[in-house]
Amino acid sequence: MSMFCFFLFFMIFLVIAALIAVHTDNLLSSVICVGAIGFGGSLMFLFLRAPDIAITQIAVEVLGLIILIRATISRDKTFISGQREFFGIVFSVAVLFAISAVGLKGFEDLPEFGTPAFVAAAETQEIVASEDYIEQSLSRTGAANAVAAVILDWRAYDTLGEATVLFTSILGAVVILRKETRNSPETIK
Amino acid sequence: MKGMTIIVKSISSWVKMLIFLFGIYITIFGHLTPGGGFAGGVILACSFILLMLAFGREYAEENLSLGLTSKLDCVGALLFAAVALCGFFFGAAGFFVNFLHQEWQAGQATALKLVSAGTIPLSNIAIGLKVGASLFMIVLILSVFRCDSSAGKQEVS
Amino acid sequence: MLYAMCFFLFVIGLYCALVKKNMVKIVIGIMIMEYAVDLFLIMLGYRAGGVAPIVGKDEFDAVSGMVKSSFINASVDPLPQALVLTAIVISLGSLSLMISICIRTYEKYGTFDITEIRRLKG
């Protein structure tokens, strides 16, 4: 129960940081609030017993903050207040309420916090993948870290697809940012 | 003036090696301790980005140029695919087969060693190389773009 | 309760991405949505009083090579952690792609305001 209150405190912190990040007009303070969400989330991953993700999140957050600050610093017109047109706001808020109603209905079927979903599923089904991953990761792959065994042995196709997506997104950013195009007059000459 | 002050430069010239070593440790021991190729690659990229922020872009580009990062990116991706393809030719035929892994033998404590996990450390190294090179490349290209655009504006004005 | 807070965080990000005019604010909204989804998936595998899914030196039988049942009954779910680990790195790649689009648009139009960009386009 004490862990539950601890996580609740962290979630309230994250929600407050998100509200400030959405509502402030200054872009730099908004970016800093995103950093607060990221580092708070990293601490929360650590207490949720996921040290792999905590390390990755804290390193990714530093890099993401560098990229975001690079985009917002030394720009003149960053103070853009106000909203989009009225009809769009009404429509999007109505969509948000509909999604919230459906989503909160869906949470009733989930097990209590503290009971993993695979334990709840094991009571009705015979085969649950996560139990095998925990039980056989050391004897069948030799890796003590079950997460490494899952992403690089049992579900390595997932990692291959991830490498492809990362390659494609970086390639897209390079193509967008490069200065000279293939048909520019300098290269034709 | 290139880079930051002498204090930042002298501190970061010591810290960069430690961060680089930590990234290599996280990458190679990813199957025994928390970490792995993704976290290790991002930390490796962070060590070069520290170099770029402290000493300026030219100094970082002398150490790891833009062409070399894209080559390392492709080498990482191809190494990962090659480890996967080797599963066809060794052991049980199939894509992503852990062909280097030995079965457990009683009495021999082969678990929890660096070489005990078969292809997983090799895949970790490939993933770390790929993630680190591509993330450093994107930050380098963002900084190159700012220098080019500001120089172009000065010429126009 | 915690699941509902995660969902509330997601809705805040969705609101920011739908309503705001600033392009960087839209990117920030998408990032908040990513954090919310990651947190939700990890919470779904959390076991109260559990341990991390990493086998230590004392937690396996050296003769048969099998993991002890005390570890099996205490470990948290490794599968969502593996999926979220790849999703975090992909989110950094997509963030760099979106930011480069923002910077290119600022170079061309001189503003981050999407309504003004639409007006300039005609």
User: Rounded to an integer, what distance in angstroms lies between the CA atom of residue C19 and that of residue B77?
Assistant: 39
pLDDT, mean of residues C87-111: 88
C52 falls within a domain: no
Q: Choose among A36, A143, A110: nearest CA to C46.
A: A110
Structural domain for A30, as ranges? 7-74
- For range A84-110, the mean pLDDT: 80
Whether the predicted pLDDT of B149 surpasses 60: no
CB atoms within 10 A of CB B13: 13
B152 — pLDDT class (breaks 50, 70, 90): very low
- Give the CATH number for residue C22: 1.10.287.3510
Distance of CA A158 to the CA centre of its chain: 17
Residues of chain C in contact with residue B151, where contact means CB-CB under 8 angstroms, are none
Task: Give the residue carrying structure tokens 């404590």.
Answer: B109
Is A31's pLDDT higher than 60? Answer: yes
At residue A79, the pLDDT reads 63
Chains near B (3 or more Cβ pairs under 8 Å) = A, C
Task: Give dist(CA A10, CA C33) in Å, integer.
Answer: 17
Quickly state the pLDDT bin for C113 (edges 50, 70, 90): confident
CB contact under 8 A, A150 and C7: no
Any domain includes C111? yes
- Dump the DSSP string for B86-148: HHHHSSS-STT--TTPPPP-TT---TTSTTTTTTHHHHHHHHHHHHHHHHHHHHHHHHHHHHH
Whether residue B155 is predicted with pLDDT greater than 50 in this model: the reply is no
ipTM of the complex as predicted: 0.87
Predicted pLDDT of residue B146: 64
Range of the domain at C96: 2-46+70-121
Residue A145 lies in a domain: no
Domain annotation covers residue A102: no
In a domain, A157, yes or no: no
Report yes or no: C8 and A107 within 8 Å, Cβ to Cβ: no
End-to-end CA distance of chain B: 22
Region A125-143: mean pLDDT is 79
Q: For residue A56, which of B27, B102, B156 has the smallest C-alpha distance?
A: B27
Give domain status of residue A61, yes or no: yes
Work out how many domains chain A is built from and give that number.
Answer: 1
B132 and A CB contact within 8 Å: no
pLDDT tens per residue, range C67-77: 778 888 888 88
* Helix, strand, coil distribution of chain C in percent, nearest 5: 70, 5, 25
Helix (H) or strand (E) holding B9: helix B6-28
Contact B42 C60 (CB under 8 A): no
- Range ranked top by mean pLDDT from A67-76, A114-123, C18-27, C54-63: C18-27
Distance, in Å, from the CA atom of B83 to the CA atom of B127, rounded to the nearest integer, reads 11
Provide, as residue numbers in chain B, all residues whose Cβ is less than 8 Å from the Cβ of A163. 76-77, 80, 127, 130
Q: How far is CA A93 from its chain centroid? A: 23
Kindly state whether residue A101 falls inside one of the protein's structural domains: no
The total of structural domains in chain C comes to 1
Among A183-187, B88-92, C55-59, C101-105, which stretch is predicted with the lowest mean pLDDT? A183-187
Could you give the count of Cα atoms lying within 13 Å of A128 in the half-sphere of its Cβ? Answer: 17
Q: Which residues are A148's β-sheet partners? A: none
Of the given ranges (A56-65, A123-132, B54-63, C43-52), which has the lowest mean pLDDT?
A: A123-132
Structure tokens at C118: 């639409």
Q: Is A45 among the domain residues?
A: yes
Residue A127 confidence class, pLDDT cut points 50, 70, 90: confident
User: What is the average per-residue pLDDT within A102-110?
Assistant: 81
Nearest to A153, CA basis, from C78, C108, B60, B96 = B96
pLDDT at B156 over 50: no
> What per-residue confidence (pLDDT) applies to A152?
86
In tens, the pLDDT along B56-84 reads 888 888 888 888 988 999 999 999 888 88
Q: How close is the nearest chain B Cα to the Cα of A96, in Å?
A: 34
What is the model's pLDDT at position B103? 62
When CB atoms are compared, the residue of C19, C82, C104 closest to A151 is C82
- Residue B41 has a pLDDT of 92
Supply the DSSP string of A2-27, one letter for each residue: HHHHHHHHHHHHHHHHHHHHHH-S-H
Residue B154: predicted pLDDT: 45
pLDDT score recorded for residue C29: 92
User: Closest Cα partner for C117 from B156, A180, B148, A77?
Assistant: A77
- pLDDT tens-digit map of B86-135: 877 776 666 777 777 666 555 555 667 777 777 888 889 999 999 999 99
Residue C61 lies in a domain: no
pLDDT at res. A120: 78
The widest CA-to-CA distance across chain A, in whole angstroms, is 73
- Distance between CA C7 and CA A97 in Å, rounded? 12
**Cα nearest neighbour of C57 on chain B:** B112
Longest dimension (CA), chain C: 75
> Does A119 contact C at CB distance below 8 Å?
yes
Place of tokens 């309420």: A97
In terms of Cα–Cα distance, which of C112, C120, C121 is closest to C20? C112
